[in-house]
Chain A
């Protein structure tokens, strides 16, 4: 099976930078995804890393180290609207080709 660990809560102020870490244990790792979910809303895709390194998309970046079974999501220039839950998710060989297993989620609170 798969297991993922991420912090349950993170708090930061507007304009700051925050990093949300994710460590995983799985067999047959394919890649790591990140999702954002606002209260009462649908999870929305942010990024996917299949290879080691940093992927940048606007204010958000995601990093993966396959050798360390570790990744993180980096949010820069935080805005109030970034307050949400963030989930890492692994795609692993033991599941179907497009099946994801989600972490427990990190609640990010952005303060003014």
Chain B
């Protein structure tokens, strides 16, 4: 299994500001995923963070708005830039372990952002 720590767990932010969310994993992983989940809604994939290369963004998400860093195999950051109330959401970091894939992702507890 994997233990994933996210910081901050929650924050209240002002419109127009930016916030960086950190994700620390207790083991080395190839790919890390950033998801967004609005209250009571599904999980939507923002991007896949690859170590040593640019993140791969899903449709509707762009690097200027959600820049991602992946400096090593255990850490990643997601920045939510120029925030608006529509960015109020839970942001989740997740990883898959091993070389195969059994359909299992491990998730952090999430970072709940409220934008005023």
Q: How many cross-chain pairs have Cβ atoms below 8 Å apart between A and B?
A: 56
Chain A facing B: main interface SS = strand
Q: For the complex, give the distance between the alpha carbons of A100 and B48 in Å.
A: 11
Q: Which of B99-116 contact A (CB under 8 A)?
A: 101-110
Contact partner of B103 (CB less than 8 A), chosen from A43, A100, A101, A104, is A100
Contact partner of B45 (CB less than 8 A), chosen from A42, A49, A99, is A99
Q: For the complex, give the distance between the alpha carbons of A32 and B101 in Å.
A: 12
The answer to whether A102 and B96 touch (CB under 8 A), given A91-B101, A91-B103, is: no
Residue of A nearest to B90 (CB): A40
Residues of B close to A41: CB separation below 8 A: 109
B: number of interface residues (CB 8 Å): 22
By the criterion CB–CB under 8 Å, are B103 and A42 in contact? no
Determine whether A96 belongs to the interface, using a CB cutoff of 8 Å to chain B: yes
Residue of A nearest to B104 (CB): A45
Residues of B close to A45: CB separation below 8 A: 103-106
Residues of A close to B96: CB separation below 8 A: 98
Q: For the complex, give the distance between the alpha carbons of A97 and B105 in Å.
A: 12
Q: 7 closest Cβ contacts across the A-B interface?
A: A48-B103, A33-B103, A98-B96, A42-B107, A45-B104, A102-B43, A104-B42
